[in-house]
Amino acid sequence: METNLKPGDTVELTITSLGSGGEGVGKYQGMAFFVPRGLPGDKLLVTTRKVKKRYGSGELSKVLKPSSHRRETHCATFEAGCGGCQWLHLDYQEQLRQKTNTLRETIKRIGKMSVPVDSILPAAHMRHYRNKFSMRVDAKGTIGLNRENSHEVLDLDGCMMETRENVQVYTRLKGLKIPRKTNQIHLRSSPDGKVAVCVFADEFNDGYVRLEKELRSRCPMLAGFDVKTRKRHHHVGGAKSLSIKVGEIEYELPSGGFFQTNYQQAAVLLD
């Protein structure tokens, strides 16, 4: 269907579902319209950003009528546009229902299988559970998370999702000089409160040795410090791995290694 809609126009839109990326989806003149932070049941005022023949996307300008599942986030960072969370404004029981439906539809539509899917086993804790903090660093040395749908790095006051130990190390890092050509800094905390730092950079230099020493003097919970470039892995100081016990199994996790970001739910998964 042809439309005279163009970027910058404002439209009223009712959200009917959630997309695979967490955005709200509604219909406008027969087109699917994707709106980050839109929720099923919302009636929104939307500023269009992209208009194609069959779909479009936009930015939420105003909630005209909120969904019954919309809730207060109590997070200034989210309200400032942080892209770390997509569904913080959606009540938890509805999050579980939406995720279950997404899995069922994926198995049916992509897997071409008819497989029963049980209900999700919910998490016991909704705050300070995330054990990995993956931060971006911009050319000015600002450390934080990307603004939603943007490459702009937001300087955070903290994060309610991350473990308190990760937030403490992040806060100390913000006051230190970060070497140029640093791209990302990943923090991983262990169940006993230790934090490993893994820096991703274009090149290695002595600035990281100084950074490790300064950070260690300010953070008694610091475990190991590593720097990864495209060519090699540099272990700068401290432990080379984190000891992580889940259930009856103890893991040695190297810096930058993969692990479930929620230890409590990892135990449920393992069980």
Q: Which of 146, 168, 158, 8 is nearest to 86 (CA)?
A: 146
Report the pLDDT value the prediction gives residue 220, as an integer from 0 to 100. Answer: 95
Report the pLDDT value the prediction gives residue 255, as an integer from 0 to 100. Answer: 84
The tokens describing 227, both together, are: 């720097």
Report the pLDDT value the prediction gives residue 149, as an integer from 0 to 100. Answer: 84
Question: Helices (DSSP H) in 88-162: which residue ranges?
Answer: 92-109
CA distance 45 to 35: 10
One digit per residue, pLDDT tens: the chain, 271 residues? 566 888 999 999 999 999 888 899 999 988 999 999 999 999 999 999 999 988 999 999 999 999 999 999 999 999 989 999 999 999 999 999 999 988 998 999 999 998 888 889 999 999 999 999 999 999 999 999 999 888 999 999 999 999 999 999 999 999 999 999 999 999 999 999 999 999 999 999 999 999 999 999 999 999 999 999 999 999 999 999 999 999 999 999 998 889 999 999 999 999 9
The tokens describing 186, both together, are: 């990943």
